[in-house]
Amino acid sequence: MMKITFIGGGNMGEAMLSAVLNKGLSLAQAVSVSDVDEACCQCLEQKYGVAVMNDNRQVVTRGEVVVLAVKPQHLGGVMAELKGRLSSAQLVLSIVAGARIDTLCRGLNHSRVVRAMSNTPAQIGEGISVWTATPEVTESQRGWAGSILGAMGKEIYVDDEKYMDMVTAVSGSGPAYIFLMVESLVKAAVDIGLPSDMAQELVLQTLLGSGHFIQRSGKPPAELRRMVTSPGGTTAEALLRLEKGGFSDLIGQAVRAAYNKAEKLGG
């Protein structure tokens, strides 16, 4: 049974904590959480029966795995508190967006570090996390990291940190691109006269159905698109308009902009 400590029990900390318990990777009595938010502490204690306190320094010594799940702007302060309190055998698993391995190792004066990038669907076990690790992380600790992240959806290990900023621009920020597409499609549906609740249902099921169809058919999306596009038909008319407006190029530019920003933020 894995002893695991969470620094930060907000959206992602709780998602991971709940997934770890649900999948039986740990037990409530082996889990501890520290968060500055009193209400959050009480809620986690009641909901999961885990030990919760408002003291990063005290809690950090408890876990074999220490998960850093605070916002990037709080990371500096948290690292300063934890520095010198980690034993060399502990594994630090950071899900803090943009925090580089080198920053974490130096900030914590610690060498066993996993850096992961998850996304919001992880909160319902449908996320995708990409992670990398320092050479000092042992095989069994890599196994732990893979199973913790895998408890929130899919996980992919990469041996080169350069991929993390690319992942941030694609799957990290990606849910927001899809949400915008859904919002726009619902608005367009309402604009041509559909009732709003029906528009929502049509768009949502089209999104889910299309995702599953891509996955299960095993066919490339371009082929599926051609299959539903009869020459001279309605779909062709819409796609023509999208391409005239530079849809594919715009997606390319948006992802590139997110990637450039991720590189800049990481320093």
Ligand X SMILES: NC(=O)c1ccc[n+]([C@@H]2O[C@H](COP(=O)([O-])OP(=O)(O)OC[C@H]3O[C@@H](n4cnc5c(N)ncnc54)[C@H](OP(=O)(O)O)[C@@H]3O)[C@@H](O)[C@H]2O)c1
Among 18, 61, 111, 120, binds ligand X (CB under 6 A): 120
Q: Which two tokens stand for residue 178?
A: 């899809």
The minimum distance between CB 263 and ligand X, in angstroms, equals 16
Residues near ligand X (CB under 6 A), total: 27
Site residues for ligand X, 46-105, by CB under 6 A, read 56, 69-72, 74, 77-78, 95-97
104 Cβ neighbours under 8 A, 6+ residues apart = 68, 79, 92, 94, 110, 113, 115
Q: Which is nearer to ligand X, 180 or 238 (CB)?
A: 180
Task: Considering the complex, state which of residue 96 and residue 258 has its C-beta at the smaller distance from ligand X.
Answer: 96
What is the strand order of the sheet 113-117 is part of? 51-53, 31-34, 4-7, 65-68, 91-94, 113-117, 127-133, 153-157
Q: Which is nearer to ligand X, 70 or 113 (CB)?
A: 70
Q: Is 164 in the site for ligand X (CB under 6 A)?
A: no
Q: Which residue is nearest to ligand X (CB)?
A: 10
Residue length of the chain: 267
Q: Which is nearer to ligand X, 44 or 133 (CB)?
A: 44
Residue from 119, 132, 134, 173 in contact with ligand X (CB under 6 A):
119
Bridge partners of 66, per DSSP, are 5, 92
Q: How many CB atoms lie within 10 A of CB 16?
A: 28
Q: What whole-number distance in Å separates Cα of residue 10 and Cα of residue 231? A: 50
Report the alpha-carbon distance of residue 5 to residue 107 in Å, rounded. 18
- Helices 11-22 and 139-150: angle between axes, nearest 10 degrees: 100
How many Cβ atoms are within 10 Å of 129's Cβ, its own excluded? 26
Q: Print the binding letters for residues 172-191 with ligand X: x by CB under 6 A, - otherwise.
A: x-------------------
257 contacts: CB under 8 Å, gap ≥ 6: none
Nearer to ligand X, 70 or 258 (CB): 70
Residue given tokens 């649900």 in the structure block: 22
Report if residue 261 touches ligand X, rule: CB under 6 A.
Answer: no
Answer yes or no whether residue 10 interacts with ligand X by CB under 6 A.
yes
| Distance in Å, CB of 156 to ligand X, minimum | 14
Per-residue x/- marks for ligand X, 18-47, CB under 6 A? ----------------xxxx--x-------
Per CB under 6 A, residues contacting ligand X are: 7-13, 34-37, 40, 56, 69-72, 74, 77-78, 95-97, 118-120, 172
